[in-house]
Structure 1
């Protein structure tokens, strides 16, 4: 058996399951360990650390035709910061590990770090250290981010409750469409400015190259006291909804007509002869937040978001009629959604 024969979450369990007891981890201060967007660690009586890391590997997460050097650094930081947002936390510190061939041009690495620091500074993350090493293959950039929250305030995937509504903080599918568009053009990123065709979908390209972690939304959800479960959309709405459903042992219905879609995605999908819903459900790397909240507080939560100048869309319901995730179509029929999104080992 090789790693391509198991999905990513099964592999994580195979590598980590049974290695350390929950009691051992709790004694070490770990309150939420492997299985959520990030770990939660007891820092003191009035604070909890949130720990996460993300890796960007050349030809897996990016190619020279899908990202500029500065985009690589920006997105590496953004994807890790987004895990903190998904826990309702505030990012504080980062450690950065870079592996690269000895032949890598210095200006290329400098551009990656310029992008990385642009994102870190935007979200007030202190880059406190890291490591650099040479490698035989392409560039690999790993970012560890440490965030903070109050005791018992971290927002977990496992907290959805019967009767909750399901919400999302913005458009999804744009990043996947942007990636598809760039792969189809297959043009080196240093030539993008000279290609007028690439200016057709600036929002889709921006969504893929410069995603924005929803820190403000996550903090608002935590402070509101109304949010139950929360997850970030790194692998598509269907996959993230499944993670919440499985962790919370409930069922989720997503309402097709309520899932927001951007104008650029509608236009792009139409010209490609595809359903925009496929990008939204099974794309990923949009880093919006999907979660659940009590139905009786849904309107009040939307008002809080409106006052903060942020969108919040109600897109479904939590119930106990079935397990897993269904899509309620425009005609009222409900169809099961496959538990899939981007998976590193099965494709």
Structure 2
């Protein structure tokens, strides 16, 4: 049976690591990001910043579960693998700094395909000033597995948690949701042909944009009482805040951001735009809560910075849960605790 690496026997595990990573970060970049010793030894050596705490997040992407070759290019997979972890650091108001990357590579992924994956990963790393400092490489029997750990920092005692929402506060988003799910739908229908999908929707699925700058603004100004990133879907993340904070979130249907591309795509393909917004997932924008006294200040600052911001509901007293007020009036209806769940049936 052909094993991974048979096609290019001169490159062992360490040779491949060097081929994929060597020269990607220059010495000035590593020094600036706090790396005293990077890839090439048994462990990396990092510089700690006084008055800050570490944030650590790990996420794994599995071929056929998180991505399909028909819908994602190799560089997109690498980019998204890092971006999803960067978003977790942003959701705590932190700064992403370092990444560890582990890959399990099947025979179908030759050296050139893996190089393109690392091209995308390092493109994301450069964009968010993240130093890739190590990882691991193994073979796999069939499907590619990419696991990324991101290490960030945040001011000591100030990480924004999910558990701080209070009745009377507003619920906000730092960007629209549903775009990634619509993009995936279009890419699957069109067998990966980009000309079959509105560019903004395809881009949202392939190259998400973590809200790092928004997260920092929210922390530095003390605005957000709770924060979560939208990875598994708006409804699912809203439930997480509601349960962690022991409150009810009341979303307003006519406040939800519906982009023109999303609405048009949903209409043309018989989909519910509201379902895409609530249950789609993988948008990697931030969902949070804020005191009403900060509403005007928050709006103005985000406008000045060119960042999107949408108020989508309110926090109320009551049993933990999520409800939505219909645009046409009537009693609020419960929103299912549903989103992307790897171990549940019927997920999107």
> Normalising TM by the smaller chain, what interval?
0.7 to 0.9
Are 2:320 and 1:320 aligned?
no
The answer to whether the 8 A contact 1:88-1:222 is kept is yes
Are 2:105 and 1:107 aligned?
no
- Aligned-partner SS, 1:180: helix
**Aligned structure 1 segments of 4 or more residues deviating by more than 2 angstroms:** none
For 1:297 and 1:115, how far apart are their aligned partners in 2? 38
Are 2:283 and 1:302 aligned?
no
Instruction: Please report how far the alpha carbon of residue 152 of structure 1 lies from its aligned counterpart in structure 2 after TM superposition.
Output: 1.4
- Aligned-partner SS, 1:229: strand
Partner of residue 15, structure 1: none
**2:157 aligned to 152, 159, 162, which one?**
152
Structure 2: 5+ residue stretches without partners: 1-47
Instruction: Please report how far the alpha carbon of residue 256 of structure 1 lies from its aligned counterpart in structure 2 after TM superposition.
Output: 0.5
Partner of residue 287, structure 1: 284
- Aligned-partner SS, 1:228: strand
Instruction: Please report how far the alpha carbon of residue 297 of structure 1 lies from its aligned counterpart in structure 2 after TM superposition.
Output: 1.1
Partner of residue 343, structure 2: 345
Instruction: Please report how far the alpha carbon of residue 44 of structure 1 lies from its aligned counterpart in structure 2 after TM superposition.
Output: 7.3
Are 2:134 and 1:136 aligned?
no
After superposition, the C-alpha distances for 1:5-46 in whole angstroms (9 at most, x for unaligned) are: xxxxxxxxxxxxxxxxxxxxxxxxxxxxxxxxxxxxxx7761
Instruction: Please report how far the alpha carbon of residue 261 of structure 1 lies from its aligned counterpart in structure 2 after TM superposition.
Output: 1.4
- Aligned-partner SS, 1:231: strand
- Aligned-partner SS, 2:236: helix
For 1:229 and 1:67, how far apart are their aligned partners in 2? 33
The answer to whether the 8 A contact 2:252-2:313 is kept is yes
Instruction: Please report how far the alpha carbon of residue 332 of structure 1 lies from its aligned counterpart in structure 2 after TM superposition.
Output: 2.2
**1:235 aligned to 223, 232, 235, which one?**
232
The answer to whether the 8 A contact 2:107-2:142 is kept is no
For 2:115 and 2:50, how far apart are their aligned partners in 1? 40
For 1:332 and 1:290, how far apart are their aligned partners in 2? 24
The answer to whether the 8 A contact 2:58-2:150 is kept is yes
Are 2:94 and 1:89 aligned?
yes
Partner of residue 3, structure 2: none
Are 2:201 and 1:204 aligned?
yes
For 2:261 and 2:131, how far apart are their aligned partners in 1? 35
The answer to whether the 8 A contact 1:51-1:146 is kept is yes
Partner of residue 68, structure 1: 73
For 1:218 and 1:178, how far apart are their aligned partners in 2? 25
Partner of residue 272, structure 1: 269
**2:167 aligned to 162, 165, 168, which one?**
162
Structure 1: 5+ residue stretches without partners: 1-42
For 1:44 and 1:321, how far apart are their aligned partners in 2? 41
For 1:123 and 1:292, how far apart are their aligned partners in 2? 25
Instruction: Please report how far the alpha carbon of residue 322 of structure 1 lies from its aligned counterpart in structure 2 after TM superposition.
Output: 4.1
For 1:291 and 1:280, how far apart are their aligned partners in 2? 16
After superposition, the C-alpha distances for 1:154-180 in whole angstroms (9 at most, x for unaligned) are: 010111111110000111101001111
**1:336 aligned to 318, 334, 337, which one?**
334
Q: Structure 2-normalised TM-score?
A: 0.83
Q: Structure 1-normalised TM-score?
A: 0.83
Partner of residue 53, structure 1: 58
For 2:101 and 2:224, how far apart are their aligned partners in 1? 31
**1:180 aligned to 178, 185, 190, which one?**
185
After superposition, the C-alpha distances for 1:186-231 in whole angstroms (9 at most, x for unaligned) are: 24xxxx36xx4x2x41111000000010100000100111110000
For 2:103 and 2:271, how far apart are their aligned partners in 1? 38
Partner of residue 8, structure 2: none
**1:226 aligned to 220, 223, 237, which one?**
223
The answer to whether the 8 A contact 1:224-1:301 is kept is no
For 1:298 and 1:151, how far apart are their aligned partners in 2? 26
Structure (1 or 2) with the larger CA radius of gyration? 2
Partner of residue 171, structure 1: 176
Residue correspondence of structure 1 range 8-47 to structure 2 within 5 A: 46-47=51-52
Instruction: Please report how far the alpha carbon of residue 326 of structure 1 lies from its aligned counterpart in structure 2 after TM superposition.
Output: 0.2
